[in-house]
Amino acid sequence: MQIHHCEHESHKTKNDSKVETLLSRMRERKIRITGPRREIVAVLARAKQPLSSEEIFGLLKKGSTDLVTVYRSLALLEESGVLRRSDFGDGVRRFEVSASSHHHHYVRCRSCGSLEAIGDCSFEQTIARILKKKGYQDVRHSLDVLAICNSCN
Amino acid sequence: MQIHHCEHESHKTKNDSKVETLLSRMRERKIRITGPRREIVAVLARAKQPLSSEEIFGLLKKGSTDLVTVYRSLALLEESGVLRRSDFGDGVRRFEVSASSHHHHYVRCRSCGSLEAIGDCSFEQTIARILKKKGYQDVRHSLDVLAICNSCN
DNA sequence: TTGTATGCAAATGTTTTGCAGAGCC
DNA sequence: GGCTCTGCAAAACATTTGCATACAA
């Protein structure tokens, strides 16, 4: 029981510091810190996978924020590089905190929709390097994988 | 997007044979060959880059086919692997003929929307291999890159 | 205080669905 | 002939925009 409580506590702390990191990244980029934005990044800091606007909205305190504000906040945070977007071709945009050094991608099951992370991405070392040499600026990418997972097969 | 019309016989022949390949691939997969589908694959056989439903519709003979039919045909052909889909996060799905052995991806300019092909894809040799080992079936992917191109910079 | 962010309502744009008639195999 | 495909209309869906008010810096 006590251990359980401790673990819980440490997770909470870890999330708090993740949120703090995000907020200071926002300050750096001159993005105003507002109530809704604070809540949104808190939800994303806790998330284990990319979330859609609707999903994020559903995880916010009822009545605290509008769905439109979620859309606007996500767009802003993505533009400024605080978040990154995944797109699995189902017409829904999902967002996650963008890790600065490395990041991973996901396989999405076409049948049940489950997500599983794929190992680190080699994109930066390969394609992005070539494109930058060609004169492209601000190169970003999304690699999205669809398949049929073990249990749906 | 600029479309060059070429009078050379060899190009016409080349396109015709590309269409034939596509049609026989459809027959193999028991997909019925209808007027609209024939026209749609002909447009895609000629295309130099992925096209959206709307763009394909615009290239069809006026009045010959409905936009809804274009959507349905593309969905069917993508599901069966005859076409592949690109998604640049702008809310529009684009399709191109899926090459069996190798294929390439595109950089899209966030500012002017221009597309440029990236070299061959190493996905099959790397990530897909790992996923298949893990038990995933029918692994497909899309890698979409956004950047600011030389002339827009 | 000043410019930016928010909430609400309504619009937009793409893609999907229902259904009766037409067309492929 | 049977079953699928098509066209038209209308719906569904995610996302965006306009504008008056509320709020962060």
The amino acid at residue B131 is L
Residue at shortest CA–C1' distance from D9: B68
Alpha-carbon distance of B8 to B131, in angstroms, equals 45
How many other C-beta atoms can be found within 10 angstroms of the C-beta atom of residue B123?
18
Predicted local confidence at residue B38, as pLDDT: 96
The Å distance, CA of B40 to C1' of C20, is 25
Alpha-carbon distance of A74 to A97, in angstroms, equals 11
Instruction: Please give the residue that has the higher pLDDT: either A13 or B86.
Output: B86
The Cα-based distances of A65 to A24, A37, A43, A62, A97 in angstroms read: 22, 9, 13, 7, 20
Section B6-32 average pLDDT: 82
Nearest residue of B to residue A86, measured between CA atoms? B89
Rounded to two decimals, the pTM is 0.81
Please choose, from the candidates B100, B97, B73, the residue with its C-alpha nearest in 3D space to the C-alpha of residue B86.
B97
The Å distance, CA of B64 to C1' of C10, is 35
Q: Is the pLDDT of residue B73 over 60?
A: yes
A residues 78-97 near B, CB within 8 Å? 85, 87, 89, 91, 93
| Interchain CB distance below 8 Å, A150 and B140 | no
| Interchain CB distance below 8 Å, A89 and B89 | no
Distance from the Cα of A79 to chain B's closest Cα (Å) equals 11
| Choice among A99-108, A144-153, B47-56, B74-83 with the minimum mean pLDDT | A99-108
Alpha-carbon distance of B141 to A89, in angstroms, equals 10
Instruction: Read off the pLDDT of residues A53-86 as tens digits, 9 standing for 90 and up.
Output: 999 999 999 888 999 999 999 999 999 989 988 8
How many other C-beta atoms can be found within 10 angstroms of the C-beta atom of residue A70?
24
The Å distance, CA of A12 to C1' of D19, is 40
A107, A147 contact by CB (below 8 A): yes
| Interchain CB distance below 8 Å, B140 and A146 | yes
Alpha-carbon distance of B152 to B109, in angstroms, equals 8
Within an 8 Å CB–CB cutoff, is residue B130 touching chain A? yes
Within an 8 Å CB–CB cutoff, is residue A134 touching chain B? yes
A residues 20-79 near B, CB within 8 Å? none
Helix axes B67-79, B35-46, angle to 10 degrees: 70
The Å distance, CA of A69 to C1' of D18, is 14
Alpha-carbon distance of B89 to A37, in angstroms, equals 22
Band (pLDDT 50/70/90 cuts) for residue A11 is low
Alpha-carbon distance of A44 to A74, in angstroms, equals 10
Best A86, A107, A129 member to test B by mutation, with max B CBs in 10 Å, is A107
Residue at shortest CA–C1' distance from C4: A32
Band (pLDDT 50/70/90 cuts) for residue A5 is low
Nearest to B147 among A91, A131, A144 (CB): A131
Alpha-carbon distance of B128 to B124, in angstroms, equals 5
Band (pLDDT 50/70/90 cuts) for residue B72 is very high
Distance from the Cα of A50 to chain B's closest Cα (Å) equals 15
Nearest nucleotide by C1' position to the B36 CA atom: D6
Instruction: Read off the pLDDT of residues A20-54 as tens digits, 9 standing for 90 and up.
Output: 999 999 999 999 999 999 999 999 999 988 999 99
Alpha-carbon distance of A44 to A70, in angstroms, equals 12
Instruction: Read off the pLDDT of residues A106-150 as tens digits, 9 standing for 90 and up.
Output: 888 887 878 888 877 777 677 888 888 888 888 888 787 888 888
Please work out, in degrees rounded to the nearest 5, the angle formed at the alpha carbon of residue A107 by the alpha carbons of A19 and B104.
110
Alpha-carbon distance of A93 to A79, in angstroms, equals 14
Q: Which is it for strands B104-109 and B137-148: parallel, antiparallel or unpaired? A: parallel
Backbone φ and ψ of A5, nearest 5°: -60, -45
| Interchain CB distance below 8 Å, B139 and A145 | yes
